[in-house]
Amino acid sequence: MKFRFTILFLASIFIVHTQELVQNSATVKFKIKNMGFNVDGQFKKVAITSNFDADNLEHSFINGIIQVNAIDTDNKKRDKHLLSDDYFEASTYHNIRLKSTKIVRTSANKYQLTGNLTIKKTTKQIVIPLVVAETNTAITIKSKFSIDRLDYNVGDSSWVMSDMVKLNITYTAKK
């Protein structure tokens, strides 16, 4: 009986002091200019894990995996082309990955995440702005930023398509 109590007590301490967030929803939307028009799209399969604690940023993290074949630009022919070897090479590179290495506060509810973004076989360090809204039961993290697709060998330089891709990410999790 004493052993059971000790195990339960230790487990409860671990649970109380761990703020691992359970994903509720995540969206990754993007926009790129093509032939002078904005093309909107999103990735429909996104998995984010996080341990965000504004009072303990040293141990906080936000990591994500996007399934490349879940791209949706509302045009099946374009989606198929984006998955081809001309762009994402989805048959070889199934996921886009973000692994955070540091999170710092820049103001009251704003932060900067530094992490490694891997697209295809290229990994580059990136700094991403975050806006965080917390309640007692949930946290919402939003981010808007741009990346240069050519840095990750996604397509070739073109006068028709912009190099810069605008990203809009929203992540909500229950505490």
Q: What is the CATH number of the domain that holds 99?
A: 2.40.128.110
Residue 44 located in a structural domain: yes
Predicted local distance difference test score (pLDDT) of residue 33:
96
Q: Average of pLDDT values for 32-53?
A: 94
Identify whether 68 is part of a domain: yes
- Rounded (5°) CA angle 11-17-23: 95
| Structure confidence by residue, pLDDT tens digits, 3-21 | 343 343 333 333 333 445 5
Evaluate whether residue 2 is within a structural domain: no
| 126 in a structural domain | yes
**Is 12 within a domain?**
no
Could you give the number of structural domains in the chain?
1
Distance set, CA 94 to CA 24, 30, 61, 116 (Å): 23, 18, 23, 17
Contact 137, 152 (CB under 8 A): no
pLDDT value, residue 23: 58
Buried b (16+ CB within 10 A) or exposed e, 116-153: ebbbbeeeeeeebebebeeeeeebebebeeebebeebe
What are 62-119's pLDDT values in tens digits?
999 999 999 999 999 999 999 999 999 999 999 999 999 999 999 999 999 999 999 9
- Establish if 14 belongs to a structural domain: no
Tokens of 59: 């141990």
> In angstroms, rounded to a whole number, what is the distance separating the alpha carbons of residues 59 and 100?
11
Residue 141 has phi, psi (to 5 degrees) of: -120, 125
Q: Does residue 7 belong to any structural domain of this protein?
A: no
* 138-148: strand order across its sheet: 46-51, 61-67, 95-107, 110-119, 122-134, 138-148, 164-174, 22-34, 37-43, 71-72
Q: Is residue 170 part of a domain?
A: yes
pLDDT at 58: 96
Would you say residue 169 has pLDDT above 90? yes
165: its two tokens: 């891709």
Contacting residues for 117 by C-beta, under 8 A, at least 6 apart: 96, 97, 98, 123, 124, 125, 126, 147, 152
Domain span at residue 149?
A: 21-174
CA dihedral 108, 113, 114, 119 (to 10 degrees): -160
pTM, entire model: 0.85
For residues 163-175, average pLDDT: 94
pLDDT of amino acid 175: 79
Specify the pLDDT at position 174. Answer: 85
